[in-house]
Amino acid sequence: MAFCAKCGQQSSGGENFCGNCGTALGVVAEPAPDPSGTASALPKAPPFDASATANANAVTHANAKTIPGPDGQTYTLAKYGSRFGGYLLDGLIVGVGSFVIFFVLALTRVALLSVLGFLILLSANFFYGWLMIAKRGGQTIGMRAAKIKAVNALDGGPLSMKRAAGRSAAAYLFSVLGVVSLSLAPILDLLWPLWDEKIQTIHDKMASTIVVYVDDRPTTVTFPN
């Protein structure tokens, strides 16, 4: 018995050519060379379309919100959900931590320590926000967990001690107003990013800061040369 090397058709054994495709029996069929002269059974990859990449980049930059700055930095504005998650974690840390300190000092029944504990309870939020952001790359613990940070809205640079203090003081002011006047001032401040173009709180606007992501995301805020 013999089989055609090209189509696999079985022959009776006395034939010189395949009755199905006409290929000479006993001859191994060679693959047809491609036009370049190089035999290959692998499909060619489609040509790279540089225009598609260019168009995608053009759309990205066309939709970018641009703010003048010196270093050509690019950031993505942090969405409100990320910011709110950071708020919750920071509030838990500062609220529980400062209350525990106040409670422990109050238990000593020493007037001076009780007053110190009360002052810590009142000012912990301000000092926490100020020192963490100024000394930890623009991030509180909650912001680090949310992968966001506060930067200078004018040039995208890190916040100075003075600007970080101003931002924390503005946020603290809204908290105090809410307690003293029983107003919705702190709630309004924290909800402001929901409709603000730059997703800023009012205390961000007062201190000229914005909150951005620290990982790689599509461009929405650019600081061009």
Residue pLDDT, tens place only, 75-92: 889 999 999 999 999 999
Instruction: Say if residue 75 is in the same domain as residue 151.
Output: yes
Q: Which of 126, 130, 142, 127 is nearest to 175 (CA)?
A: 126
Instruction: Say if residue 140 is in the same domain as residue 190.
Output: yes
**Mean of the pLDDT values across residues 39-44?**
49
Q: Is residue 111 part of a domain?
A: no
Question: What is the predicted pLDDT for the residue at 50?
Answer: 44
Domain coverage including residue 211? 68-86+123-222
Instruction: Say if residue 8 is in the same domain as residue 73.
Output: no
Q: Is residue 116 part of a domain?
A: no
Q: Is residue 99 part of a domain?
A: no
Residue 62 — very low, low, confident or very high, per pLDDT cuts 50/70/90? very low
Q: Is residue 108 part of a domain?
A: no
Number of domains observed in the structure of the chain: 2
Residue 13: C-alpha distances to residues 47, 86, 153 (Å): 48, 82, 87
Q: How does strand 221-222 pair with strand 65-66?
A: parallel
**CB 9, CB 20: distance < 8 Å:** yes
Q: Which of 198, 203, 211 is nearest to 175 (CA)?
A: 203
Instruction: Say if residue 11 is in the same domain as residue 79.
Output: no
Q: Is residue 44 part of a domain?
A: no
Residue pLDDT, tens place only, 170-191: 999 998 888 777 778 889 999 9
Is residue 212 pLDDT above 80, yes or no?
Answer: yes
Instruction: Say if residue 15 is in the same domain as residue 74.
Output: no
The structure's pTM equals 0.64
How does DSSP assign 119-132, residue by residue? HHHHHHHHHHHHHH
Q: What's the mean per-residue pLDDT of the chain? A: 78
**Mean of the pLDDT values across residues 50-76?**
51
- Terminal-residue alpha carbon distance, the chain: 79
Question: What is the predicted pLDDT for the residue at 54?
Answer: 42
Residue 97: C-alpha distances to residues 24, 83, 125, 138, 210 (Å): 90, 21, 10, 21, 27
The DSSP bridge partners found for residue 10 are 3
Instruction: Say if residue 82 is in the same domain as residue 189.
Output: yes
Instruction: Say if residue 24 is in the same domain as residue 80.
Output: no
